[in-house]
Chains A and B, each alone.
Chain A
Amino acid sequence: MRWLAALPVALGLAGPVQADDIAASEPRDLSVTIYRDPGRGGGGQISLERLGGFAVITETRTVTLPPGKHRLRFVGVVDGIIPESAIVTGLPGGVIEKNRDAALLSPAALFRAFQGRSITLKRTSRATGKAVTVPAQLVSASPDGVIFRTAAGEEALRCTGLAETFAYDRAVEGLSARPVLSVLTNASRTVTAEIKLTYLAEGFDWSASYTAHVDGEGKALDLGGWITLANGNSVSLPMARTQIVAGGLRREDAARLRSAMAPVTINCWPQQRTHQVPRKPERPYSLVSPYREPEEEDEYLQESNIVVTGNRMLRSYDAAAPAMVMAPPPPPPPPQAEQLGDLKLYRLPEPTTIAARQMKQSRLLDKPGVTVEPVLDLQLSAFDSGAPDEVGKVDAPNAARYTPVTVLRTRNDKANGLGLPLPAGQFVVQQEQSGRTLPVGQPALRDTAEDEKVELRLNAAIDIAVERRTVRTARRKQWQQLRLSSARSVAATLEIRFTNSASMRFDFGKDVETFRRDGELVLRLELAPNSKRELAYTVGWD
């Protein structure tokens, strides 16, 4: 890749220097604000391969403009730039127009650019290694093949079995290594201006990752949070002031400009040989895949290619793995959320370098001793649709067995040890159980404002069983029965939530605690250790 990095320099030297083309300085000051993928929901992990978030990047650059009209070029902008979002401020002469050229320098682009122009054909003898150069003209380059003309006549490139290629006498204006953003501006006199370039760029993402250590009883947890941010672009942002924004802001999927040129492929005329029986002889020859002669050199090349790729993949895994497992040491105070309209903005404590294709973590919060209430939670529909039609069928095979889920419930306020905005993110909840720390669930959290309820749904409580059956039905009534059993050695609180119950009348008799919450009827029961319990009740409706 080293030769590629050297290309822009070569282009600048070789191309005809246009008087009105001026490059702005490298960014002197960088600010980046990273937004999460709006479609990722509360949880989910981010992967460097596919980053659906974006960032707003503000670069401060200086430029000296002589009088006249100039094309001011910004080199080194992030490759995921959304060009139509670019804002340039600080130019004394204003912006006449903004351009983004995506015609990139590539083998295909060179072919296309030199169509009809003079090139040099170079043939190297496989036997002697001697190269012969012939002046030629490139007649046509298309997805169907390449044709050139020499003094002898027309020939097709690389249909001969010879090692042949083109050499171009110089690079072409208008082709660049990276998409180039430029503005047209006027200067009435020589000025040195400090300009700010602000643009949206894709290929970034961040997420909040929470770790919660729950004590043995499940009534308190130590909460820690990381900001994990990622840059999937191939441009690094050195010493950037970094912010992240939490909240569900809206993005439009506007059509993006393709930045690729139509490819040029080396295709030849039909090259079947006598030992090759055509698969479908009646089909036109053009569907026969282009013939490629197996050659020793090629095989060797392929083998070495595989080895190199394998090495690279291993290396990248090696590099990525510690970044995800080993979190960097917490910086002094985690950032305070700052109000940005209806969103939350967090500033990383100090400027940081976000390297190309890098994942990075910073502390979001540390809240030890958050009080939580552990509850076993089960949601049932008030109407038992599995009930038999016939009346009086006790122990009918319609009984359904359910397993409740452990939920840690709290409120995001100071009294419970929280009271700060919690951005959406993925939790990893661990609990001390008989001397070991075990993972007990990975719930997702939505954007949670202050004083809002928090519910962390953990794993299923497989030692608690709930069985419901309907023992009798009438036209507007069901006689339902619950059988509860606990194999736990400790007492537990079970909440059964009956949904679709707004128009239902329940009769549980006396001594059973029920209440309505969030539009559901909640039946709250204390389960004694290693016990069984039965509950009969009726559900009626109009």
Chain B
Amino acid sequence: MSRRAFLLALPLAALAAPVLAEPGLDVTIYADNQALIEDRRVITFTGGRQTVEFRNVSAQIRPETATLSAKDLAIIEQNFDYDLLSPAKIMENAVGQTITLVRTNPATGAETRETATVLAANGGVVLQIGSRIEVLRDDGLPVRVIFDKVPPNMRAEPTLSMNVQGTAGTREAALRYLTPGLGWRADYVALFDEDRQQIDVQGWVTLTNNSGTTYQNANTLLVAGTPQLIGRGGRSNLGSLIEAGTESGTRERLGNFYLYPLAEKTTIANLQTKQVSFLDVNGVPATHGYEIQIGWLQNSTVPLNVATTYQFSSSARGGLGDQLPAGVVRFYLRDKRGQPQFIGEKAIPHTPMGSRLSINTGDAFDVKVQPVMESRTRVNSTRWKTAMRYSVSNALPKPVKVRVVQNGLWGDTRLVDPSQPEEWKDATRAAWLVEVPANGKTDLTVTFDSRY
């Protein structure tokens, strides 16, 4: 709602105290679709009981969270009126009262006026006109209904009103409330340079306003720390955050939250998406790799796509040097003509500074792994030997390294004669870094001796 609409709407609420100005608006937006609004206005108090109305509050205000604070002010009662004005409501309210009917002659257009009393508005409107009873527009002919006045408790928009008593004088009062409909997340643009093995990263704060209200010239503060789930689970359950960091940044903190204040006052219009830059780092070392997780006893007759991953750090030393609010990282790569092309995106959680990140941007077209169970023999009732072969193929004209992870090694499972030494990721996962020559194939073979 623009300020002009607000001023024009004032005559409708003649009883309310005039609100003089808006000295300030603070908007604090949390990452979970929640915002704290502090609306500071100058109000003239009469010294007696009076009603203060706030009309241009968020249309989605949570009224139970609203508080008004000013010096020498006592709040008697707080009302949130959302009995919205509508033709049905106004007619219901007119029961027992007098309305004016204007009938239009369909043939000539001539108008005749009558006064009627509304007897009932159940299903249809029953009127008393003089001594006869009539159903409104029962004959289907045009009839205008004119109401003398709108009942004062009905509003054109949700309105917060407060019954207050304060010592006489003009002073500032602050209204604070929570509202949904405002939210933010981060969006990252990462440009990977294959030759230098570096990334340039830009971080943008994206805030969205669906609250139904425009916030004019607001001091805006964004708070990170409330985890927000973005999107559904992806095609791989590899977490992007592979090592949580321990460094403290220079960002302002509040308890467990990081604060991102916007440098300038800004207007957050209704139905607007706004982006402000908060990170711009060039030439951060990054590595590119391949990874695939194989399930226990997984046999495939076709080669499986491996995930292509990009790893980098958020550390101040050799990394982005900042904590990263939850958001989506979009990866770009320059094509042969130098134009950046999109190669995939991944959501990341709130990431402390000093963390290591591995971003899975999707499937590799040319690098695949086919897991094949060669044999499975019973040694005794609790012991089996399973021979696996992982055929790693590479159709690229350069050698690659693929991390093959075997999942599900529960119980006492030992590795017999692996074709290359393994590395245990945890008790149930063994990993190998398999080197594959250009346009070539490498077979990784291992036998699992599992006892239950």
- Residues B361 and A272 in contact, CB atoms below 8 Å apart: no
**A-B pairs under 8 A by CB, number:** 325
- Kindly state whether residue A516 has any CB partner on chain B within 8 Å: yes
- Kindly state whether residue B313 has any CB partner on chain A within 8 Å: no
CA distance A406 to B271 in the complex (A): 56
Please indicate which of the listed interface residues A35, A97, A344, A542 has the most CB atoms of chain B within 10 Å of its own CB.
A97
Taking A84-B204, A341-B192, A446-B302 as contacts, is the C-beta distance between A252 and B84 under 8 angstroms? no
Taking A58-B339, A115-B156, A257-B210 as contacts, is the C-beta distance between A147 and B86 under 8 angstroms? yes
- Kindly state whether residue A200 has any CB partner on chain B within 8 Å: yes
- Residues B341 and A451 in contact, CB atoms below 8 Å apart: no
CA distance A33 to B334 in the complex (A): 13
CA distance A243 to B271 in the complex (A): 33
Taking CB atoms and an 8 Å cut-off, the chain B residues in 116-149 that contact chain A are 121-125, 135-138, 140-149
- Kindly state whether residue A98 has any CB partner on chain B within 8 Å: yes
Taking CB atoms and an 8 Å cut-off, the chain B residues in 380-406 that contact chain A are 384, 386, 393, 395-396
- Residues B395 and A139 in contact, CB atoms below 8 Å apart: no
- Residues B232 and A253 in contact, CB atoms below 8 Å apart: yes
Nearest chain-A residue to B155 (Cβ)?
Answer: A140
Give min CB distance, B197 to chain A, whole Å.
Answer: 13
Give min CB distance, B439 to chain A, whole Å.
Answer: 7
- Residues B138 and A274 in contact, CB atoms below 8 Å apart: yes
> What chain B residues lie within 8 Å of A142 (beta carbons)?
84-86, 156
- Residues A250 and B109 in contact, CB atoms below 8 Å apart: no
- Residues A56 and B88 in contact, CB atoms below 8 Å apart: no
- Residues B372 and A519 in contact, CB atoms below 8 Å apart: yes
| Interface stretch (choices B37-45, B164-172, B362-370) | B362-370
Nearest chain-B residue to A520 (Cβ)?
Answer: B301
- Residues B87 and A156 in contact, CB atoms below 8 Å apart: yes
- Residues A288 and B123 in contact, CB atoms below 8 Å apart: yes
Taking A98-B275, A153-B148, A518-B372 as contacts, is the C-beta distance between A285 and B122 under 8 angstroms? yes
Nearest chain-B residue to A144 (Cβ)?
Answer: B86
Taking A247-B362, A252-B347, A502-B376 as contacts, is the C-beta distance between A97 and B274 under 8 angstroms? yes
- Residues A270 and B88 in contact, CB atoms below 8 Å apart: yes
- Kindly state whether residue A223 has any CB partner on chain B within 8 Å: no
- Kindly state whether residue A14 has any CB partner on chain B within 8 Å: no
Taking A249-B343, A250-B346 as contacts, is the C-beta distance between A99 and B88 under 8 angstroms? no
> What chain A residues lie within 8 Å of B377 (beta carbons)?
503, 542
- Kindly state whether residue A170 has any CB partner on chain B within 8 Å: no
- Residues B271 and A85 in contact, CB atoms below 8 Å apart: no
- Contacting residue for B342 out of A33, A286, A451, CB 8 A: A33
Give min CB distance, B449 to chain A, whole Å.
Answer: 15
- Kindly state whether residue B322 has any CB partner on chain A within 8 Å: no
- Residues A250 and B362 in contact, CB atoms below 8 Å apart: yes
Give min CB distance, A505 to chain B, whole Å.
Answer: 10
Give min CB distance, A255 to chain B, whole Å.
Answer: 7
- Residues B144 and A452 in contact, CB atoms below 8 Å apart: no
CA distance A322 to B23 in the complex (A): 64
- Kindly state whether residue B74 has any CB partner on chain A within 8 Å: no
Nearest chain-B residue to A423 (Cβ)?
Answer: B365
Taking CB atoms and an 8 Å cut-off, the chain B residues in 136-191 that contact chain A are 136-138, 140-150, 155-157, 185, 187, 189
| Interface stretch (choices A157-165, A206-214, A362-370, A465-473) | A157-165
Taking A153-B146, A155-B144, A518-B301 as contacts, is the C-beta distance between A99 and B272 under 8 angstroms? yes
- Residues B88 and A542 in contact, CB atoms below 8 Å apart: no
Q: Is the interface of B mostly helix, strand, loop or mixed?
A: strand
> What chain A residues lie within 8 Å of B302 (beta carbons)?
446, 453
> What chain A residues lie within 8 Å of B363 (beta carbons)?
247-250, 342, 447
- Contacting residue for A56 out of B92, B341, B347, B370, CB 8 A: B341
Nearest chain-A residue to B151 (Cβ)?
Answer: A154
Interface bits A130-172 vs B (CB < 8 Å: 1, else 0): 1000000001111011110100111110011110000000000
> What chain B residues lie within 8 Å of A345 (beta carbons)?
335, 341
Taking CB atoms and an 8 Å cut-off, the chain B residues in 288-313 that contact chain A are 288, 290, 299-303, 305, 308
Taking CB atoms and an 8 Å cut-off, the chain B residues in 1-57 that contact chain A are 4-5, 8-9, 12
- Kindly state whether residue B91 has any CB partner on chain A within 8 Å: yes
- Kindly state whether residue B317 has any CB partner on chain A within 8 Å: no
- Residues A268 and B87 in contact, CB atoms below 8 Å apart: yes
CA distance A277 to B277 in the complex (A): 63
> What chain B residues lie within 8 Å of A247 (beta carbons)?
362-365
> What chain A residues lie within 8 Å of B9 (beta carbons)?
115-116
Taking A84-B187, A161-B142 as contacts, is the C-beta distance between A269 and B365 under 8 angstroms? no
- Kindly state whether residue A128 has any CB partner on chain B within 8 Å: yes
> What chain B residues lie within 8 Å of A47 (beta carbons)?
none
Q: Is the interface of A mostly helix, strand, loop or mixed?
A: loop
Taking CB atoms and an 8 Å cut-off, the chain A residues in 330-345 that contact chain B are 338-345
- Residues A154 and B146 in contact, CB atoms below 8 Å apart: yes
- Kindly state whether residue B358 has any CB partner on chain A within 8 Å: no
- Residues A286 and B88 in contact, CB atoms below 8 Å apart: yes
> What chain A residues lie within 8 Å of B86 (beta carbons)?
140, 142, 144-145, 147, 267
- Kindly state whether residue B234 has any CB partner on chain A within 8 Å: yes
Interface bits B343-380 vs A (CB < 8 Å: 1, else 0): 11111000000000000111111111010111111100
- Residues B157 and A115 in contact, CB atoms below 8 Å apart: yes
Interface bits A68-101 vs B (CB < 8 Å: 1, else 0): 0000000000000001111100000001111111
- Residues B342 and A35 in contact, CB atoms below 8 Å apart: yes
Give min CB distance, B409 to chain A, whole Å.
Answer: 17
| Interface stretch (choices A258-266, A351-359, A394-402) | A258-266
- Contacting residue for A447 out of B300, B339, B365, CB 8 A: B365
> What chain B residues lie within 8 Å of A339 (beta carbons)?
396
- Contacting residue for B393 out of A149, A154, A451, A542, CB 8 A: A451
Give min CB distance, B173 to chain A, whole Å.
Answer: 24
- Kindly state whether residue B266 has any CB partner on chain A within 8 Å: yes
Give min CB distance, A470 to chain B, whole Å.
Answer: 22
| Interface stretch (choices B65-73, B98-106, B241-249, B420-428) | B98-106
A-B contact list, 7 entries, CB within 8 Å: A97-B266, A140-B155, A140-B157, A254-B231, A273-B138, A340-B341, A342-B362
8 cross-chain pairs, A with B, having the tightest CB-CB distances, nearest first:
A144-B86, A272-B124, A269-B91, A249-B362, A248-B363, A156-B87, A161-B142, A542-B378
Task: Given contacts A139-B85, A257-B271, A450-B366, list 20 more A-B pairs with CB under 8 A.
Answer: A58-B340, A84-B204, A98-B276, A100-B272, A102-B271, A103-B272, A116-B156, A147-B86, A153-B100, A155-B146, A156-B145, A160-B142, A248-B305, A270-B121, A273-B138, A338-B335, A341-B308, A450-B439, A502-B374, A502-B386
List B residues at the A interface (Cβ < 8 Å).
4-5, 8-9, 12, 84-92, 100, 104-109, 121-125, 135-138, 140-150, 155-157, 185, 187, 189, 192, 194, 202, 204, 206, 208, 210, 212, 230-232, 234-235, 264, 266, 269-277, 288, 290, 299-303, 305, 308, 328, 330, 333, 335-336, 339-347, 360-368, 370, 372-378, 384, 386, 393, 395-396, 439
